[in-house]
């Protein structure tokens, strides 16, 4: 596994990074762009498979698969533009940083502390896209993956559980590399 830079300062200590898993063509952040903006069939297959969740009422009235694809692409554009803006402005002192976009992953965890597992959310009509990341510093985030979340809890769906597992795996990796210590790990376990 590698950690690749997306938007970074020269010293590679601040900014947005992503993990790139072995045997994968692209890193996890780039895969989000491919899936949500550049692959209609991926979205069509996803919403066909999860049509019951789409019609469950969790996100309001039931909508068609083409409508769901449209909403996803609008949200994705907004989300990526926001990440880009914050990642760039966050390198200047006094400006908003990535911390304003990412929120704590656990519903009860209100404070943003270092080394949290966090998710980036958007403020538009259908907000089902998630980008998961681990926070290393005030403006240093590593993207571990992304998902379309049509249900309330991650444990309800396999594809969300996989993302959760990835977060755990990356935390172990960072711990082994001496970036996280045992206390950090215990405190921020999901």
Site residues, other proteins (CB under 8 A)? 2-8, 11-14, 17-18, 20, 26-27, 29-30, 33-34, 37-42, 44, 48, 65-66, 69, 73, 80, 84, 114, 136-138, 140, 177-179, 181, 184
Q: With contact defined as beta carbons under 8 Å apart, do 28 and 145 qualify?
A: yes
| CB closer to other proteins out of 69 and 154 | 69
Residue closer to other proteins by CB (options 17, 188) is: 17
Q: How far is the CB of 85 from other proteins (least distance, A)?
A: 12
For other proteins, the closer of residues 134 and 160 by Cβ is 134
> Shortest Cβ distance from residue 91 to other proteins (Å)?
14
Least CB distance to other proteins at residue 153 (A): 28
Compute the C-alpha angle 127/79/155, nearest 5°: 45
């Amino acid at each position: 596994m590698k950690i690749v830079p997306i938007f970074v300062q020269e010293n590679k200590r601040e900014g947005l990074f992503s993990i790139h898993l072995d045997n994968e063509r692209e890193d996890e952040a780039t895969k989000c762009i491919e899936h949500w903006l550049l692959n209609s069939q991926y979205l069509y297959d996803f919403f066909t498979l999860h049509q019951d969740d789409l019609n469950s009422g969790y996100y309001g009235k039931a909508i068609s698969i083409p409508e769901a694809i449209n909403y996803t692409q609008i949200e994705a554009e907004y989300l990526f533009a926001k990440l880009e803006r914050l990642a760039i402005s966050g390198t200047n002192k006094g400006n908003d940083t990535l911390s304003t976009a990412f929120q704590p992953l656990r519903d009860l965890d209100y404070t943003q502390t270092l080394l949290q597992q966090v998710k980036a959310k958007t403020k538009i009509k259908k907000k089902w896209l998630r980008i998961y990341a681990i926070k290393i510093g005030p403006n240093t985030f590593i993207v571990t993956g992304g998902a379309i979340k049509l249900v309330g809890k991650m444990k309800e769906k396999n594809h969300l559980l996989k993302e959760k597992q990835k977060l755990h795996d990356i935390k172990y990796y960072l711990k082994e590399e001496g970036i996280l210590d045992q206390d950090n790990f215990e405190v921020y376990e999901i």
